[in-house]
Amino acid sequence: MHPITSRRSPASAIVVASLICTAGAAVGFGAGPLNPPVGPVAPTAKPIAEVEPRTAINAANTPGDADSLFRITQPGSYYLTGNVTGVAGKSGIEVAVDNVSIDLNGFTLTGVTGSLAGVTTSISTATRLNNGTVQGWEDDGVRLSDFAVVTRVTTRDNVGGGINVGQSAVVTDCIAEGNDEQGFVANAGSALTSCVARNNTLDGFVLNACTVTGCTARVNGGSGFALQTAGVLSSCSGSSNSDNGATIATSGAFSSLVVDCAFSSNGADGISVSGNSTIRGCTLTGNGTGAATGAGLRIAGSDCRIEGNHCTDNERGILASAAGNFIVRNTCAGNTTNWELVANNVVGPIVDRTAPASAAILGNAAPSSLGTTDPNANFSY
């Protein structure tokens, strides 16, 4: 047997040698210079101020005083590094300067017997607070002043209220539950969105000239929503509250708008409005669980526009105890009494369709069983 041998032509040997030289040059080029530059080696890592351009809340950075466990006295951004337990006679975090942002960082501030508020301000405005839980304090969980921004904060089991903010605040995606007073208190020009108040001893939301969107109030000891002076309530829901689903207390030059809301199984009325307001497109079901005369919608004052609401299975569907209101395009069904209106209200025709006697429908067309062509008609069915 002959041994296997390799035979290359002179040309192929030249190609192989050329490839070896090229690879070696590439390796040498990637490795960089063999001699380092003269002088000390400079660090390449970023300083900690660039990696974490915020200040940790602790005894060294934010020392407290006689009234607070931690006190912030310089504008800037601050954050928690762990859970915090309060002490008697002090608030958890006090903000004593404008333009402060606090990230609770997912941690919990827990109060103890005799403690004060969880997060509070003294003279500051424009405080931002987000992402954490404040529980068990013997004052409000969160009490901030004007222009505050509160996002994704849960307040629970505080002896005071849950979240209390001043004027022109923005509160979003927050929860107030099991507090001994109100869930939320907000003042003129504030906006609350996608918040939940549940199982609070008093009202779920107490609102003075606020705009409230997509919020929920359940099983609170007072009203779900208490609008004072004026305000807007849109796409909200309230159920199983001990008093009204929504109490709209307006007078004089102030007015409120309640639109596309749903209130059910509340102890008194679904909505109780004192006057000067528009209530439109709301669904009000099964209210009056704790009162013999609970109504889906109670109108206790004048100059209201009541339009396109749907009231079912209440003691009273729509009850107007005052004159001077405009009532059109509403529907009532299954209430003990569908309509109870005092004299001198402006009312679209109320059409009784409780026994429509309409034929079954199968196919593409059928005659109207509304019994009217009036576009402002109200219906019992």
pLDDT in tens, 308-365: 999 999 999 999 999 999 999 999 999 999 999 999 999 999 999 999 989 999 999 9
User: Which is it for strands 295-299 and 108-110: parallel, antiparallel or unpaired?
Assistant: unpaired
The pLDDT value recorded for residue 36 is 61
Strand, coil or helix: 21: helix
The pLDDT value recorded for residue 254 is 85
CB 209 within 8 A of CB 185: no
The pLDDT value recorded for residue 291 is 74
The pLDDT value recorded for residue 26 is 41
E-assigned strand segments in 157-309: 163-164, 170-172, 175-177, 184-186, 191-193, 196-198, 205-213, 216-218, 225-234, 237-239, 246-249, 256-259, 262-264, 271-273, 277-280, 283-285, 295-299, 305-307
Helix (H), strand (E), coil (C) string for 193-218: ECCEEECCCCCCEEEEEEEEECCEEE
The pLDDT value recorded for residue 33 is 57
Positions in the chain short of pLDDT 70: 1-52, 251-252
C-alpha 380/C-alpha 119 separation (Å) is 51
The pLDDT value recorded for residue 96 is 97
pLDDT in tens, 147-157: 999 999 999 99
Of residues 328, 323, 334, the one with CA closest to residue 300:
323
The pLDDT value recorded for residue 21 is 36
Question: All domains of the chain, ordered by start, with CATH?
Answer: 114-380 (2.160.20.10)
The pLDDT value recorded for residue 281 is 98
C-alpha 171/C-alpha 167 separation (Å) is 11
The pLDDT value recorded for residue 20 is 38
Q: How far does Cα 292 stand from its chain's mean position?
A: 33
The pLDDT value recorded for residue 23 is 41
The pLDDT value recorded for residue 46 is 60
